[in-house]
Amino acid sequence: MKVSKNTVVVMNYVLRDKETGDIIDRSEDHGEPIAFLVGAENIIPGLEERMIGMEEGEKKTIEVPHSEAYGEWDEQLVQKVPREYFKDINLVKGMPIQAQTEDGHIIEMVVIDFDDNEVTVDMNHPLAGRDLIFDVEIVKVREATQEEIEHGHVHYHS
């Protein structure tokens, strides 16, 4: 069976930064291959699109430009915030933190700099602006169940 819309794909991967060659992530670090539903926006679009037509057991190196991964790095997402919002946190440059908006959304950010009055945070995705290379291996491909399609994600059955 080939990777196509409404199939469940189980894959191993190694993710590298195209510019530096540094390994960013790999499935073995998570203890097992990942599974996702094709067409449900479970993974970045540029990777999913380039996997269409691959078969079980196939290995491929796939380049994904940042525009089809996590987008452009946006300078407007680097902001200065009053220090008082972080009064109970021992801040460190490079520290990832989360904040919650008034409507309950969680915002991920990284501390860029701080002083006694304000904290500079970057709310860009950590991989924004970076072209990526994925070494993928398709472990398994199967038809998705109707329930998986309706829910938009893979269900694990015992």
Q: What is the CATH number of the domain that holds 14?
A: 3.10.50.40
**Do 118 and 133 reside in the same domain of the chain?**
no
**Do 81 and 103 reside in the same domain of the chain?**
yes
The arithmetic mean of pLDDT across residues 128-147, rounded, is: 97
Residue 1 lies in a domain: no
- Taking only the tens place, the pLDDT of each residue in 75-87 is 999 999 999 988 8
pLDDT value at position 70? 95
The arithmetic mean of pLDDT across residues 66-76, rounded, is: 96
Q: Which domain holds residue 116?
A: 75-122
- 53 neighbors 4 (Cβ within 8 angstroms): yes
**Do 50 and 87 reside in the same domain of the chain?**
no
By residue count, the chain amounts to 158
Going 40 to 41 to 42 to 46, the CA torsion angle's sign is positive
> Is the whole-model pTM more than 0.75?
yes
**Do 82 and 115 reside in the same domain of the chain?**
yes
Q: What is the CATH number of the domain that holds 95?
A: 2.40.10.330
